[in-house]
Amino acid sequence: AQTVTQSQPEMSVQEAETVTLSCTYDTSESDYYLFWYKQPPSRQMILVIRQEAYKQQNATENRFSVNFQKAAKSFSLKISDSQLGDAAMYFCAYTPWGQFYFGTGTSLTVIP
């Protein structure tokens, strides 16, 4: 079964601080992609960061970085220097092929 688990339904962080969102997945595939998507209150989902499973190096995109632990099937998102605009629902997603499997999301609140 392909499942994605986000164990933190809600998280909060002080502005300018760092927060880490957790994601684990279950798969028997050896090659796949992992994504973090952000869904602000306006509801348009946008890609935050992407990781290819066969790449050892963790992906980074400006203030966003991941900690990808393939053996542990863990894919956490670290947001550094949090900004008010980072407040949103964050979804972890996994795809071994064209179908995406999403976690249930983590709602991030940024406290001014």
Partner 1 sequence: KAGVTQTPRYLIKTRGQQVTLSCSPISGHRSVSWYQQTPGQGLQFLFEYFSETQRNKGNFPGRFSGRQFSNSRSEMNVSTLELGDSALYLCASGLRGDRGSEQYFGPGTRLTVT
CB distance 75 to 87 below 8 Å: no
CB distance 21 to 90 below 8 Å: yes
Supply the minimum distance, in Å, between the C-beta of residue 62 and partner 1: 16
CA distance 22 to 65: 12
Selected from 33, 64, 65, 74, the binder of partner 1 by CB under 8 A is 33
Q: Does 15 bind partner 1 (CB under 8 A)?
A: no
CA distance 62 to 67: 15
CA distance 96 to 1: 12
Selected from 28, 85, 97, 112, the binder of partner 1 by CB under 8 A is 97
At residue 110's C-alpha, the angle toward residues 108 and 112, to 5°, is: 170
* Part in contact with partner 1 (CB under 8 A); list of ranges 11-19, 36-44, 58-66, 75-83: 36-44
Looking at the Cβ atoms of 64 and 101, the one nearer to partner 1 is: 101
Q: Does 64 bind partner 1 (CB under 8 A)?
A: no
Q: Does 46 bind partner 1 (CB under 8 A)?
A: yes
Q: Which residues bind partner 1 (CB under 8 A)?
A: 32-33, 35, 37, 42-47, 50, 52, 91, 95-105
